[in-house]
Structure 1
Amino acid sequence: MDFAMGGAASSLRGELRRLVKEHVPPDFLGSFTGDPADFEAAQRFCRLLAERGLLCLAWPEEFGGRGASVWEQTVVREEMWAHHEPRGAQYMGVNWVGPAIMRHGTPAQQRKHLPPIAGGEVIWCQGFSEPDSGSDLASLRTAARRDGDGWRITGQKIWTSYAALAQWCFLLARTSKGERKQQGLTIFLVPMSDPAIEVRPIRSMMGPHHLNEVFIDDLAVTEADVLGPVDDGWRVVQEVLAFERVGIARYARCERLLRAAPSALGARWEQVPQELRARRARMLTHCRRARLLAYRVVSLQSEGKVQPGDAAAYRIAVTRLDQDSAEVLVEIAAYARESAERFRREVDEHWRYSQSATVASGSLEIQRILLARALLSGS
């Protein structure tokens, strides 16, 4: 299978790799560590990409992009994730918050929110999951009630990535009760600086800032903070989740590390058992399968034809790849010399982050249900 995207995409890939090499610290393994310098490095790199028009490459020019193809934006996603996401949390704003505001926001909301995202100046978090409403998101209990010309929101969110760093939250709340639990949900764009919002970090092996609880106590918002029609937020969420689930090119980091293993080990590569080398080869094949599924979803999205089952099939393949490849890489790294410390640290970071892959953005079980429904319905 030839995955080449043409000369422009190849040139872009080379440019991005040069920028990473020149502007990202050599020991960088992600921006949300216990070292504030890692976060600052990501913020600087985001601004650099924005200055060069590379952060929101495929956005329309009127919204701060360059009107590039979805395939060029795919190259950006691949290279960023392959190199431990030096954009930090910006992929959230770039990949789906911004596009959702473009499609469903008012002109005032677009003027307010899109320029800071395109400029790499703002971090968004996602207020979806709740303690009793994770995979069954539509059963959420955070409620927004009418209060004069605005709303009052009270509730709790959990597993909220980057909440302690974010300036804005893409918040889903119940505004009425319908015949189906998916009805009566509304999206609000709310500032995290409001004193009615409290963030409590959740410690995990993924490091600081990845997981948080968010408590919302009588938060006052206006009609200007509502994204899309009131009570019709579920339709927007379904669209958002499809973009989110294909937004992280997990296969790109898996493939880079798998390919780097022989050179990282040097002469020690000969000591790696044949069975383990065969598993590595199998993982490289699975990288290509996940890439092919990702490209299929990207193509369907560009045509406005993507369905939940399409994104689910990709999500199943890429999250299993993330975890399976991490196990293989950990076994391979055990044969590395001390001089291969960088490779071993990369593998360790990859393994730790992969453990949440089959739960984040919808559990693997939910993805299988979505895929089964699509296959049974023929859509």
Structure 2
Amino acid sequence: MPVDFEMGPGAGSLRGELRRLVAEHVPADFLGAFTDDPADLEIAQRFCRVLAERDMLCLAWPEEFGGRGASVWEQTVVREEMWAHHEPRGAQYMGVNWVGPAIMKHGTPEQRSRHLPAIARGEVIWCQGFSEPDSGSDLASLRTAARRDGDGWSVTGQKIWTSYALMAQWCFLLARTSTGEKKQQGLTVFLVPMSAPGIEVRPIPAMLGPHHLNEVFFDGLRVTEADVLGEVDQGWALVQEVLAFERVGIARYARCERLLLAAPKVLGGQWEALPEELHVRWARMLVHCRRARMLAYRVIALQDAGAVTPGDAAAYRIAVTRLDQESAEVLMDIRGLATLSGADGDWFRAEVEDHWRYSQASTIASGSIEMQRILLARSLLRAS
């Protein structure tokens, strides 16, 4: 019995329109916004404006905030097509998937009016100030401190592995404002302009390319009540909600599936000559793509109903990061055994190599796979 992935009556036409826009505005050899060529970032920024002009960048947002009031499933179509085509929104997916929704739900009227229209227009890039040198997987143990200073706070500390910090205009910053019986208590989210005095960004060289990874240092950064998102000392619950949206918002299964399905077409007559064992591994990866997709849809449905738990998001994250790495190994083996030539061969070679490089960090980024397994285990134990 086939699995029904139907996502509503308008999903097919929306998917077709998105593919047309990608073909029209994004070069075929585009490998993401964060390469050595600054023109790639401009391609992404320009494409975001194209989507925004059609109210498609934040499709499921309410119209009052710059969206179209579409369903979460239509937004999922956008998410899948973007990740399948190398995320031509660049870093904007962060604002669309979770920064914007967090501000929409927890922000003051002033914060909403200041930030949401800019995100919906594709004009602003956000970065995430979460991980620290000794507080990566164990985020709640972070030590960046916001200490009361008159009518505000003075922030001192360090963040690491901060994607897009060199180009971001705003930071979604988690800092400790007090201590409690549990380390999860006393954390607060601040919305901080990256141009503020007291912030220094240092890039971290990596094979993922420039702009991906950075250290961010805070030395006497001044923040006020107007910068607090939600309630002071209650940031942990907000961040758990945010992380669930972030983890399911990265539809890497769509990219894996696109590359896997491209392999037989690009190889042509060479495909049948590949070892049978490699054909089996290739087919297994396609099954795993469907598994990750179904888990993503389950979390999206639960989020839409307001019933998602950290364990739900963790199950998806485990599946999709494993898929990322295992499919990359299969694709690299296919690439190594085939003679690739012509434009299609060059495209496939570049795409597969980039996919492999990115996959090496996938089981660490957005929460390590070990922590995801702990979250899932705790959820299963509570349910038993």
Mapped to 2, the partners of 1:328 and 1:336 lie a distance apart of 16
1:10 partner amino acid = G
Residue of structure 1 aligned with 2:367, choices 350, 354, 362: 362
2:341 to 338, 342, 346: 338
Give the 5 Å matches for 1:84-95: 84-95=86-97
Worse overlay, 3-12 or 92-101:
3-12
In structure 1, distance between residues paired with 2:253 and 2:339: 23
Q: Which residue of 1 aligns with 2:27?
A: 25
How far off its partner does 1:15 sit? 0.3
Match of 1:38 among 34, 37, 40: 40
Could you tell me which of 130, 135, 138 is aligned with 1:136? 138
Any idea what the Cα deviations from partners look like across 1:84-125, whole Å, max 9, x if unmatched? 000000000000000000110000000000000000000000
Alignment of structure 1 residues 34-73 onto 2, 5 Å: 34-73=36-75
Question: In structure 2, what residue type is equivalent to 1:232?
Answer: Q
User: What SS does the corresponding residue of 1:215 show, helix, strand or coil?
Assistant: strand
The structure-2 alpha-carbon separation of the partners of 1:156 and 1:291, relative to structure 1 and needing over 3 Å to count, comes to: same
Shift of 1:146: 0.9
Q: CA deviation at 1:132?
A: 0.4
Query: How far apart, CA to CA, are the structure 2 residues paired with 1:7 and 1:345?
Result: 35
Q: In structure 1, the residue corresponding to 2:131 is in which secondary structure? A: coil
SS in 2 for 1:132: coil
Describe the SS at the equivalent of 2:10. helix
Q: Is the CA contact 1:268–1:337 (under 8 Å) kept in the aligned structure 2?
A: no
2:376 is matched with which residue: 334, 347, 371?
A: 371
Counterpart in the other structure of 1:16: 18
Q: What's the TM-score once normalised by structure 2's chain length?
A: 0.98
Partner of 1:275: 277
* Superimposed CA distance per residue, residues 299-330 of structure 1 (whole angstroms, 9 cap, x where no aligned partner): 00000000011000000000000000000000
Give the deviation of 1:279 after TM superposition. 0.5
The residue identity in structure 2 corresponding to 1:365 is E
Helix, strand or coil for the counterpart of 1:220? Answer: strand
1:4 Cα deviation after fit: 1.9
| Contact 1:45–1:87 (Cα < 8 Å) also in 2 | yes
Q: Which residue of 2 aligns with 1:299?
A: 301
Aligned counterpart for 2:252 among listed residues 246, 250, 253: 250
Contact 2:151 2:224 in 1 (8 A): yes
Q: Distance in 2 between matches of 1:6 and 1:303?
A: 17
1:372 is aligned with what amino acid? A
Contact 1:336-1:344 within 8 A present in 2 as well = no
Q: What is the letter of the counterpart of residue 83 of structure 2?
A: W
Q: Which residue, out of 335, 354, 358, partners 1:349? A: 354
Task: Please tell me whether the aligned partners of residues 135 and 363 of structure 1 are also in contact (alpha carbons under 8 angstroms).
Answer: yes
Please tell me the residue identity of whatever aligns with 1:337: L
Could you tell me how far apart the structure 2 residues matched to 1:116 and 1:55 are? 11
Q: Distance in 2 between matches of 1:224 and 1:305?
A: 30
The answer as to whether partners of 2:135 and 2:142 remain within 8 angstroms in 1 is yes
* SS across alignment from 1:203: coil
What is the CA distance between 1:195 and its match in structure 2?
2.8
Instruction: Name the SS of the counterpart of 2:18 in structure 1.
Output: helix
Q: 2:241 aligns with which of 223, 239, 242?
A: 239
- The question of whether the paired residues in 2 share the 8 Å contact of 1:81 and 1:250 is answered with yes
Q: Aligned to 2:101, which of 96, 99, 102? A: 99
Following superposition, the deviation at residue 67 of structure 1 comes to 0.6
Q: CA deviation at 1:338?
A: 2.3
Q: Which amino acid aligns with 1:74?
A: T
1:271 positional shift: 2.0
Question: Separation in 1 of the partners of 2:293 and 2:187?
Answer: 34
Residue 270 (structure 1) shift: 2.2
2:288 to 273, 286, 289: 286
Given the alignment, which residue of 192, 195, 211 partners 2:197?
A: 195
Structure 1 portions without partners, runs of 5+: none
Question: C-alpha separation between the residues in 2 aligned to 1:358 and 1:47?
Answer: 32
Aligned CA RMSD, in angstroms, stands at 0.8
Residues matched between the structures, number: 379
Q: Percent of counterpart pairs with the same letter? A: 78
* AA in 2 matched with 1:358: T
- Kindly indicate whether the alpha-carbon contact (under 8 Å) linking 1:190 and 1:221 is maintained by their aligned counterparts in 2: yes
- Asked if 1 retains the 8 angstrom alpha-carbon contact of 2:127 and 2:163, the reply is yes
SS of structure 1 residue aligned to 2:154: strand
Equivalent AA in structure 2 for residue 353 of structure 1: Y
Is 1:223 the counterpart of 2:225? The answer is: yes
8 Å CA contact 2:8–2:73 kept in 1: the answer is no
Q: Secondary structure at the match of 2:30?
A: coil
Range 6-15 or range 118-127, more displaced: 6-15
Supply the distance in 2 between the matched residues of 1:331 and 1:135 (Cα, whole angstroms): 31
Query: C-alpha displacement at 1:6, in angstroms?
Result: 2.9
Superposition deviation, residue 336 in structure 1: 3.5
Decide whether the 8 Å contact of 2:340 with 2:349 is kept in 1: no
